[in-house]
A and B are shown apart, each in its own frame.
Chain A
């Protein structure tokens, strides 16, 4: 009796939580199929806003810019972040280590407007002094994104390295591997999952970012979040609903694929464990 009551309570709470999370998204998806141009008024089912969207050159340009920035950013952020993590965990106590470790995590807590403003200031000063970057756009946005997302990568790598026993690297050295071989043969392969996680995080954070990109972008360079924000600022628009629906679909597919891969890996590991038990 008591048990039944409790589970009913849990059920209600879960439903409420789920509704809170997903009703806004469902509304968005439903309204993206609305024929009417005025968003909250239902005018019948239609896919006309998707057609409008696909025919819009501005939208395509912003999608491509966002993906380009995110990819290049994730690539460099992973490299620099990994190196920073390695320096912090593996090179012992070098001079200024505490300062370095504090400074590398600063972008994690810094308000984005400050980061954006300071980067803009830097780019303007650089242009005054060296004439570079001559116009703000893809390059400046990418550099700005690398500066903050590499901090996240460094933190991920740092925690993964700290959990990784150092004796594997020592064993490799003992067997005749010079430090660089140890890095390529042992450390990096073992860090690969952490680097992949870091890459994905840097990629999504770059796709996500509106504030910093708005600061350091120039005329003509509009990322996807900037486009969405500038369009809805003057009022809800059905074609943006369609765009958001597509983004939700892409993200959901990605999450499902990741979950499926993880599920398979876990099954594989269980199988292997059973195999070793049988001996």
Chain B
């Protein structure tokens, strides 16, 4: 039983919480093409929810339906309990940050940020006050008279964020918010976004194709493929307990082996694989009949690589030779080839500095791989 005091951080666990955004069996067709295929989704107040998927998976279409730029072919969207199907974009309690930022090129920073407030007919003094506060928050006060084309990419991104947030929307939609920034700026901005979300308590819905971005930002992630949700869960759930091979492969990388269940106990299963020829002892039960075909996924960083045979006891371990090494500085990735020519990826931190420029392990070295009984995941689809 989850502890009720944790519900504030995890409203989706609370059986009594009302979802703030409710997507109910929504589909969207463009001609013959189905962009979004009968999806259901509940997002709670204060969440930072990510829609993650490759291009063409329907994540942007879903976001545009939330914003009101597309109407669902069927199904309903509720925001704060109100059916949004016939509400035009300009009347929704939602603001969006566009991937291109969509700053008005003929207005300066100040006017861009004030535009939404002007349309709401707010008094001039209040507009000035709120624009000032917002520009101070995104640290753009000294650029307020600049036109968008006189700003750098990071500055433009902050103007777009300020313009969307100044209206104090109940929900902020972000379409690939960090895609146009370079790596260093992206990391800083990620944390800035999280701070702002924390401060204002706005519900964020983020569309992204970048799994790292989704992992660091989100309270929950929905992995999308071909217009459907593959899995919805916290970053940890999705990474540690993927429900399908597609999710396991999309989030991080995984070694995937096909096998059959030979023993199914209440607290463990044993899967016999042919390639590599090895028995996997896994310490969580599954509701599958013995003899069924399954896949076992093991993350590269959960495998220990060692040149000592000491841990080699036949269970959850295998012998091989180093086929390839990728030195990444803080860690190295090894590709190990077993006796039956199966390739297994392993990542291992470089704890000690290599002696005389030689790495701890070298090409064609004989190595032993081992992993914990809790590290592998059984997948059925």
A: which residues have CB within 8 A of B? 165, 167-168, 170-178, 181, 185-186, 189-190, 272-273, 275-276, 279
Contact = CB atoms under 8 A, between A and B. Distances in A.
B297 interface: no
Contact of A175 (B68, B69, B119): B119
Contacts of A178: 90
A171 B150 contact: no
Interface in B333-365: none
Interface string B142-155: 00001101111001
Nearest to A170: B69
B119 A176 contact: yes
Contacts of B91: 176
B255 to A, nearest CB: 41
23 contacts: A165-B100, A167-B102, A168-B102, A168-B104, A170-B89, A170-B98, A171-B96, A171-B98, A171-B104, A172-B104, A172-B115, A173-B69, A173-B88, A174-B89, A174-B96, A175-B163, A175-B167, A176-B167, A177-B119, A275-B150, A276-B146, A276-B151, A279-B152
B375 to A, nearest CB: 45
B119 A181 contact: yes
Interface in B138-170: 146-147, 149-152, 155, 163-164, 167
Contacts of A189: 106
A170 B94 CA distance: 13
A186 B119 contact: no
Nearest to B143: A279
A271 to B, nearest CB: 10
Given A167-B102, A173-B69, 11 more contacts: A167-B100, A170-B69, A171-B98, A174-B89, A174-B96, A175-B167, A176-B91, A176-B120, A176-B167, A178-B90, A279-B152
A253 to B, nearest CB: 29
Given A181-B119, A189-B106, A174 B95 contact: yes
Contacts of A168: 102, 104-105
Contact of B152 (A177, A190, A276): A276
B269 interface: no
Interface in B63-81: 67-69
Q: Which of B88, B100, B119, B164 has the most CB of A within 10 A?
A: B119
A185 B149 CA distance: 19
Contact of B102 (A171, A177, A185, A272): A171
A177 B104 contact: no
Contacts of A175: 90, 95, 115-116, 119, 163-164, 167
Q: Which of B69, B89, B105 has the most CB of A within 10 A?
A: B89
B102 A165 contact: yes
**What 5 pairs across the A-B complex have the smallest Cβ distances?**
A175-B116, A176-B119, A171-B102, A167-B102, A276-B150
Interface residues of B, number: 30
Interface SS of A by simple majority? helix
Contacts of B102: 165, 167-168, 170-171
A168 B104 CA distance: 6
A54 B147 CA distance: 50
Interface string B275-303: 00000000000000000000000000000
B181 to A, nearest CB: 15
Contacts of A170: 67, 69, 89, 96, 98, 102
Contacts of A167: 98, 100, 102
Contacts of B149: 272-273, 276
B106 A173 contact: no
B89 A173 contact: yes
A20 to B, nearest CB: 42
Nearest to A164: B105
A170 to B, nearest CB: 6
B98 to A, nearest CB: 5
A173 to B, nearest CB: 4
Contacts of A185: 115
B189 to A, nearest CB: 17
Contacts of A279: 152, 155
B180 to A, nearest CB: 13
Contacts of A275: 150
A173 B146 CA distance: 23
Interface string B90-123: 1100111010101011100000000110011000
Contacts of B146: 276
Contacts of B116: 175-176
Interface string B15-27: 0000000000000
Nearest to B67: A174
Interface in B19-78: 67-69
A80 B69 CA distance: 28
B138 to A, nearest CB: 15
A216 to B, nearest CB: 40
Contacts of A272: 147, 149-150
